[in-house]
Amino acid sequence: KQPLTITKMKKMKQSGEPISVLTAYDYPSAKLAEEAGIDVILVGDSLGNVVLGYDTTIPVTLDDMVYHTRAAARGARQTFIVADLPFMTYRLGKETTLRNAARLMQEGHAHAVKMEGGADIAEEVAALVQAGIPVMGHIGLTPQSVHQLGGYKVQGKLEQEAKQLVEDALALEAAGAFAIVVELVTEPLGEAITSALKIPTIGIGAGRSCDGQVLVYHDILQYSSPYRAKRFVKTYADLGTTVRSAISAYVSDVKSKAFPQEEHSFPMDQELVKHLYG
Ligand code: KIV
Ligand code: NA
């Protein structure tokens, strides 16, 4: 099986086949996502929250992203991998943006990069695309700007905001982005953005009309995700409970000496045992 291409993703929008996207941050999570048939893996800077334990994505570094992208890429060699450019690794000029994006591809083995912003980053997006680096946009609730936005709130509820978000989406498309993540906007705005574009929208908390959906690995699996249940997440397993009770059973087995048993131990020749240890 070959990884999906950005050409195929545009065709999927045209034919109405939804694009499934899930985050993954290391070898086992990426391997399981690939084996389960996911279309695209996103190595999101949400790893700051769910893997590194930060309160926001702001402390995540480019080195963190390279390290995790490389591990995920080793686990999913047949899957299209997008890696986030973290906070302030773009917007400092085209040359810096190009260098940083190149690291995610050359060292991280990503197929594409994602960056948060709209018309304001269109020039940087165009420079990346011209250099052969596919770019996924990200508009709506952009977590790297959480302090500017004043919290994790639904975006585009006011007329001016809603119009601006459509403008941003069109600017990203014109700059050559191959897809756009639309995060935490009202369902009608998600639909308006999706129908304004030829490139696919990948929604997260953006309603039913987007061309694809993305969720965070630790959220759908309830794998010790640090946040309370979010309206836009659907959970498919409770790994937190499963893992915690498995580890607690291991602890009591060690304490009670129920583990290890003979079957977990390595025998020695009986004659030699007698000779050595009487
Ligand atoms: O970092 C991330 O996981 C993301 C998705 C939630 C879109 O940007
Ligand atoms: Na992100």
Query: ipTM of the predicted structure?
Result: 0.99
Specify the CATH superfamily of domain 6-237: Phosphoenolpyruvate-binding domains (3.20.20.60)
Query: Which tens digits make up the pLDDT trace of 12-48?
Result: 999 999 999 999 999 999 999 999 999 999 999 999 9
pLDDT digits (tens, 9 = 90+) for 122-147: 999 999 999 999 999 999 999 999 99
* Closest residue to atom 8 of ligand 1, CA basis: 44
Which residue numbers are catalytic?
Answer: 183
| C-alpha–C-alpha distance, residues 95 and 87, integer Å | 16
Q: What is the pLDDT of residues 41-84, one digit of tens each?
A: 999 999 999 999 999 999 999 999 999 999 999 999 999 999 99
pTM of the complete model:
0.97
Beta carbons within 8 Å of 145's beta carbon, 6+ residues apart: 116
CB of 204 sitting under 6 A from ligand 1: yes
Distance 254 CA to ligand 2 centre (A): 40
Give dist(CA 105, CA 108) in Å, integer: 5
Q: Would you state the structure tokens that stand for residue 53, as one six-digit string?
A: 């334990």
Region for residue 178 given its phi and psi (left: phi exceeds 0; alpha: psi -120 to 50; beta: otherwise): alpha
pLDDT at 228 over 70: no
* Residue-level length of the chain: 278
Q: Which atom in ligand 1 lies closest to the alpha carbon of residue 44?
A: 1
- Give me the mean pLDDT over the 233-244 stretch: 96
Q: Where are the domains of the chain?
A: 6-237, 242-277
**pLDDT at residue 225 in the model:** 78
